[in-house]
Amino acid sequence: MDRVLVIDFGGQYNQLVARRVRECNVYCEIYSYRTALDVVREMKPKGIILTGGPNSCYEAGAPTCSKELFEFGIPVLGLCYGAQLMQQVLGGRVERASVQEYGRTEIETDGNSPLFTGVPAKTVCWMSHFDYISRMAEGFTSVAHSKDCPVAACQDLSRNLFGIQFHPEVLHTPEGTKMIYNFVRNVCGCDGSWRMDAFVEKTIGELREKIGSGRVLLGLSGGVDSSVAAGLLARAIGKQLTCVFVDHGLLRKNEGDEVEAVFGKNGSFDLNFVRVNAQHRFYVKLAGVTDPETKRKIIGEEFIRVFEEEAKKIGAVDFLAQGTIYPDVVESGLGGESAVIKSHHNVGGLPSYVQFKEIVEPLRYLFKDEVRKAGLELGIPEKLVMRQPFPGPGLGIRIIGDITEDKIRIVQDSDYIFREEVDKALSEYKKMTGEVASWKPDQYYAALTNVRSVGVMGDERTYDYAVALRAVRTTDFMTADSARIPYEVLDTVMNRIIKEVRGVNRVFYDLTSKPPGTIEYE
Ligand code: XMP
């Protein structure tokens, strides 16, 4: 399979570069700039992309690369810092710019670059730089400029070397994906065979080969990643796989049964599925506990205990499977800039309480949207594959204060109603307009405040709980804004919760952004 190597110089958009390349159906991986040249050569990439980075390439100690990288005969595209570094290493000059460009900037291309095939001569791009290329290395010509930047893009066609001063990988550069496509598909000649159906088939073959007749244990949470990992392994090795699903009683309404319906005895996969109904144990341990951190700790530790007990019953296995995905690998420093060379070790540390020989991580090279596509390919229901993120401690951190079974019922039922109405409104909007509603939240749920207040229902005075609705829009879950859900939708949700959920007499909508609020309550 054709592959492109993304060499990471520490810029903030580097995972985005890799995702854009994959959107062009070309497989790529991110490696640190410190990776040895031999490793790069052995990978036989059809193209190399040098990313942006926070440094100035003329500073002492700044990240650099060897001149040889440009002598492999492999096409290289430098982006921002990567473009400047390429010039500096090859004999050009980079200096601090008197006018520093930041933000949306118009550039004009001169029509002579394969990078800009199909791109209008005048186009907008996202600039973010202090330095500029004041003199190009020998052999290079400028193929785009902006008002303040004479070399917004340059190339040496005889060596297939290209540099772009702006960031084609961000959405603020509307033609950016086309430029990346032009590079990886046209210049590098990658065939575009990276597709999820092919990935699924290939991975199933590889898993069979690696696992042989061995036994595999997987902890299934019901989340997207572990579910897709289970689906892949089940298709590959069937009954050699045992999935342990711990139901801690803090899942969303019906969630435990939904997971069992897909992976259990009557589901669509032929594997050993163990559902541990550990609800009671968790409730006992959590009784009367109000401190958020203590609650998290209890849930985490009890989870390990339960898993450990089940693992002991199963006995030693050959492989422990995990649903690690590529952003976990890159962020842990194993794939990207902070790694010296690529490591094949596990990301999160290995659990000592399970006896196994080796680890398998079938999703290790996939981004989240690719995991979802693979899940659909495997026939896992869309409802499960498209699930919004759900925290490990579950409803335990969406019930402020102590946890009781009655509070769990309240939060499960309210949350179910809220999600049902939001989903209904979203699909009606889509049906009417053909578009995704601009207010579509990325995560939305109901939580139980620990507040009780006086109300009146019928002729009676009530003293019941207040439910909080939380819905946020976010791209990275690090910052978020509250979603502008139409008032009528909120109104319907409020009415239904009051009518259908015993013990609730008020409903709040949480307007807080992150920061200062977090997405979860505890
Ligand atoms: P916060 O509350 O920190 O949440 O703004 C950011 C994102 O992380 C999820 N989250 C968790 N996920 N275990 C998880 O697996 C946890 O303990 C946890 N806490 C928060 C949260 O749902 C949101 O998507």
Which tens digits make up the pLDDT trace of 189-204? 999 999 999 999 999 9
Q: Rounded distance, CA 20 to CA 33, Å?
A: 20
- 254 Cβ contact partners less than 8 Å away, ≥ 6 residues apart: 416
Q: Rounded distance, CA 391 to CA 520, Å?
A: 9
pLDDT of 356 over the 80 cut? yes
**Please, are residues 173 and 101 in contact by the beta-carbon 8 Å criterion?**
no
User: Which pLDDT score is estimated for 14?
Assistant: 86
**Please, are residues 296 and 290 in contact by the beta-carbon 8 Å criterion?**
no
pLDDT of 349 over the 80 cut? no
In Å, how far are 9, 201, 228 from 235, measured between CA atoms? Answer: 39, 10, 11
- What is the Å distance from ligand 1's center to 355 Cα? 29
Share of the chain above pLDDT 70, in %: 96
Q: What is the mean pLDDT of residues 252-278?
A: 96
Compute the radius of gyration of the chain from its Cα atoms.
26
User: Which pLDDT score is estimated for 513?
Assistant: 95
Q: Which range among 8-22, 259-273, 314-328 has the greatest average pLDDT?
A: 259-273
pLDDT of 217 over the 90 cut? yes
Q: Whose CA is nearest to atom 16 of ligand 1?
A: 391
Poorest-pLDDT segment among 166-175, 252-261, 342-351: 342-351
Q: Whose CA is nearest to atom 24 of ligand 1?
A: 389
User: Which pLDDT score is estimated for 340?
Assistant: 39
- 307 Cβ contact partners less than 8 Å away, ≥ 6 residues apart: 219, 244, 246, 351, 353, 354
User: Which pLDDT score is estimated for 478?
Assistant: 84
- What is the Å distance from ligand 1's center to 323 Cα? 17
Share of the chain above pLDDT 90, in %: 87
Please write the tens of the pLDDT for every residue from 131-166.
999 999 999 999 999 999 999 999 999 999 999 999
Mean pLDDT computed over every residue of the chain: 93
Full-model pTM: 0.85
From the list 205, 260, 17, the residue with the least C-alpha distance to 126 is: 17
pLDDT band of 337, cuts 50, 70, 90:
low
In a mutational test of the pocket of ligand 1, which residue from 248, 324, 513, 519 has the highest number of ligand atoms less than 8 Å from its CB?
A: 519
User: Which pLDDT score is estimated for 333?
Assistant: 65
pLDDT band of 319, cuts 50, 70, 90:
very high
Please write the tens of the pLDDT for every residue from 234-254.
999 999 999 999 999 999 999
Q: What is the mean pLDDT of residues 172-181?
A: 96
Residue with tokens 């190009």: 136
- For residue 335, what are its two tokens? 């794939």
Poorest-pLDDT segment among 299-313, 329-343, 362-376, 440-454: 329-343
| Pair type for strands 272-277 and 241-247 | parallel
User: Which pLDDT score is estimated for 345?
Assistant: 38
pLDDT band of 338, cuts 50, 70, 90:
very low
Q: What is the mean pLDDT of residues 444-456?
A: 97
**Please, are residues 15 and 327 in contact by the beta-carbon 8 Å criterion?**
yes
- Ligand 1 site residues (CB inside 6 A) read 389, 391-393, 443, 477, 514, 518-520
In a mutational test of the pocket of ligand 1, which residue from 520, 521, 522 has the highest number of ligand atoms less than 8 Å from its CB?
A: 520
Residues labelled as active-site residues = 80, 167, 169
Instruction: Determine the atom of ligand 1 nearest the C-alpha atom of 514.
Output: 5
- What is the Å distance from ligand 1's center to 383 Cα? 20
Q: Rounded distance, CA 508 to CA 399, Å?
A: 14
Q: Give the domains, in start order, of the chain with CATH numbers.
A: 3-187 (3.40.50.880), 196-385 (3.40.50.620), 404-510 (3.30.300.10)
- For residue 459, what are its two tokens? 């002729």
Q: Rounded distance, CA 183 to CA 83, Å?
A: 14
- What is the Å distance from ligand 1's center to 423 Cα? 21
Residue with tokens 């390919």: 377
- What is the Å distance from ligand 1's center to 391 Cα? 5
From the list 302, 288, 198, the residue with the least C-alpha distance to 248 is: 302
Q: What is the mean pLDDT of residues 100-129?
A: 94
Q: Rounded distance, CA 19 to CA 30, Å?
A: 10
Query: Is the omega angle on the peptide bond into residue 516 within 30 degrees of 0, that is, cis?
Result: yes
pLDDT of 187 over the 60 cut? yes
